[in-house]
Amino acid sequence: MKRLDFLMLEEQDTVPFNRMPITGYEEEQLIYALNLLKSPHSKEHLNRCQEWFEKELGCVRALLTPSCTHSLEMAALLLDIQEGDEVIMPSYTFVSTANAFVMRGARITFVDIRPDTMNIDETKIEAAINERTRAIVVMHYAGVACDMDAIMELAGKHKLIVIEDAAQSVMASWHGRPLGTIGAVGAISFHETKNLSSGGEGGLTIVNNPALIERAEIICEKGTNRKSFLNGEVDKYSWVDLGSSYLMNEISAAFLWAQITARDQIYASRMAIHDTYSKELRDLCTDGRIEVQSFPPGTSHNAHMFYIKLRDMSERNAMMRWLNSRGIKAPFHYHPLHSSQAGRKFGRFNGVDRYTTTESERLLRLPLFYKMNSNQVERVITAVKEFLL
Ligand SMILES: *Cc1c(COP(=O)(O)O)cnc(C)c1O
């Protein structure tokens, strides 16, 4: 473990916003993976991780990918999103949520969010549906679930596909169901900024419909039936469909396996920091000085993020500068996609932007990462209070 210690070194004076989780189990797994790679075609870690997720999530197939962005692209291919289709999603999300579908020729219909969770407002979706609508893409912000009951019911009524961008939501759930397993396909991220990491970049495609398994395997094997060949079902493999290289490498999978092993300690550490923020900032909420995220009934979050909302953009920016002057890195988050250059080109906002823009302008994320120490948490809390008192 000694050789990884330099990664833990913290500059004394700054509190970073994020740190990739390093648990101490990674080195052993990486050395083991290196040895395995001496034998050709080893997929031991990949298979181990995929089987673990299939069991843990209770999904029909879990396929590790190079990133959540790739998983969303896979979903768009797998569900045959094409030119002329419209896809409904919130504007308050990451670019990949939209790009994956725009790349297949779809147009995006953005709808407003709910201010309490920053998630798509399920009551605004129906008005955005027309005869070209094919899919609803939800994004569970901060690992807090969208109202999946309302959304699945609406999708059923209008025969629409539901895709879950569960990038931030590993180990979070909706009425006990893991996020990413409720729609047809879900996508999770193991980017270094997420709760579990595969060493920098990585993702998971969650397939929930058994009818999609075979094609999902073909798409991530470059459009070939190589998987059937490796299973001995066909005697040679060939090009059968669209596809790309959507496979995670063994080194990343080994890193991820170490994190899976240490998931409880990562989760506990993040939860404790989240709880401390909630407790220590409660009075500021009661006094109406700030707002914090809320957790509607049925949601069980994963302490992915702790954000506060200030009065408006100018107060938010002043807080950000104040924290920065005290060595604390606290960033805002998404610029609404519908206002961006590409968003205007490839999509439109349906209905009134009542909350998307104004709420995103008020939001500030506080540092929260595995092994953030109590001094650092205290420093953030003190600085936030000093600014507001
Ligand atoms: C992080 C993130 C992504 C992208 O994940 P990558 O693994 O970096 O491609 C997509 N959507 C949301 C909501 C995210 O937070």
Q: Which of 68, 139, 248 to mutate to test the pocket of ligand 1 (most atoms within 8 A of CB)?
A: 68
Ligand 1: atom nearest CA of 191 is 7
Q: Which helix (H) or strand (E) holds 272?
A: helix 263-280
Please state whether the predicted TM-score (pTM) of the whole model is above 0.75. yes
Atom of ligand 1 nearest to the CA of 96: 10
The pLDDT assigned to 39 comes to 80
Pocket of ligand 1 (CB under 6 A): 67-69, 93-94, 96-97, 139, 165, 167-168, 189, 191, 203
For residue 96, the tally of other CB atoms under 10 A from its CB is 21
Q: Report helix angle 68-78 to 213-220, nearest 10.
A: 120
Tell how far the Cα of 201 is from the centroid of ligand 1, in angstroms: 10
Per-residue pLDDT of the chain (389 residues; tens, 9 = 90+): 455 555 555 556 899 999 999 999 999 999 988 888 888 778 899 999 999 999 999 999 999 999 999 999 999 999 999 999 999 999 999 999 999 999 999 999 999 999 999 999 999 999 999 999 999 999 999 999 999 999 999 999 999 999 999 999 999 999 999 999 999 999 999 999 999 999 999 999 999 999 999 999 999 999 999 988 888 888 889 999 999 999 999 999 999 999 999 999 999 999 999 999 999 999 999 999 999 999 999 999 999 999 999 999 999 999 999 999 999 999 999 999 999 999 999 999 999 999 999 999 999 999 999 999 999 999 999 999 999 98
Tell whether the torsion through CA atoms of 59, 64, 70 and 73 is positive or negative. Answer: negative
Domains of the chain: 26-261 (3.40.640.10), 263-388 (3.90.1150.10)
pLDDT at 6: 52
pLDDT of amino acid 37: 83
Q: What is the pLDDT of residue 40?
A: 73
Q: What is the largest CA-CA distance in the chain?
A: 73
